[in-house]
Amino acid sequence: MKKLIFILATMLPLLFIACSDKDETTPQNEIVGLWELSKKYIPEDNRWYYAEENIDELHEVEFYDDGSGQFNNYYKSGIAIIPFYWVVADKQLRLVLSENNESYEAYWLESLSGNELILTDADNATSYYKRRK
C-alpha cells in the first residue's frame, strides 16, 4: 500500500504538467500562407518598385506547411507559376525550384511578423510582402 501511495504521489505531479495547445511560433510555421509583393528596392537601379504603380503585374508567393510553395506571377498576357521547395534556417529562406531541382535561391529573412515579410536576395534587392491569407 505504501508503494502504491508513493507511486501515485510521484505520478500525480506529472498529470498537472501539460503541453500548451498553442503552437510555438517559429519562422518555419509563421511564413506559411499567401504573400503579395507590395514594394521592392533594387539597389543597382537605386529605385523603389511599388506594386500599386504597376497595375499590369501582380506578384505573389505562397508557402505551404509541407515545405512546398509557388511563385504566382500575374501579367496581362497570362500567369506564370513557379513551384519550389522551401526551408527556413539560420535567418535564411532557402528555395529549391521544382522545375529542375538544381536551381537554388537563398534570401535573408530580414523580418517576419504576422502580416509583413521582408526578404533580401543575393543582389541586395529587398522585397516587402503583405500577407493575403
Q: What is the pLDDT of residues 45-100, one digit of tens each?
A: 999 988 777 767 789 999 999 999 999 999 889 999 999 999 999 899 999 987 66
Q: Where are the domains of the chain?
A: 31-131
Nearest to 128 by CA among 59, 57, 28: 59
d(CA 37, CA 11): 53
pLDDT of residue 55: 64
Q: Which CATH architecture has domain 31-131?
A: Beta Barrel (2.40)
pLDDT at 24: 53
pLDDT at 103: 84
Contact 17, 117 (CB under 8 A): no
Compute the distance between CA of residue 133 and CA of residue 121 in angstroms, rounded to an integer. Answer: 24
pLDDT at 102: 74
pTM for this model (two decimals) = 0.74
Other Cβ atoms closer than 10 A to 9: 9
The answer, yes or no, to whether residue 15 has pLDDT greater than 90, is no
Q: Give the pLDDT confidence score for residue 58 in this predicted structure.
A: 86
Query: pLDDT value at position 96?
Result: 93
How many angstroms separate the CA atoms of 26 and 31, rounded?
A: 8
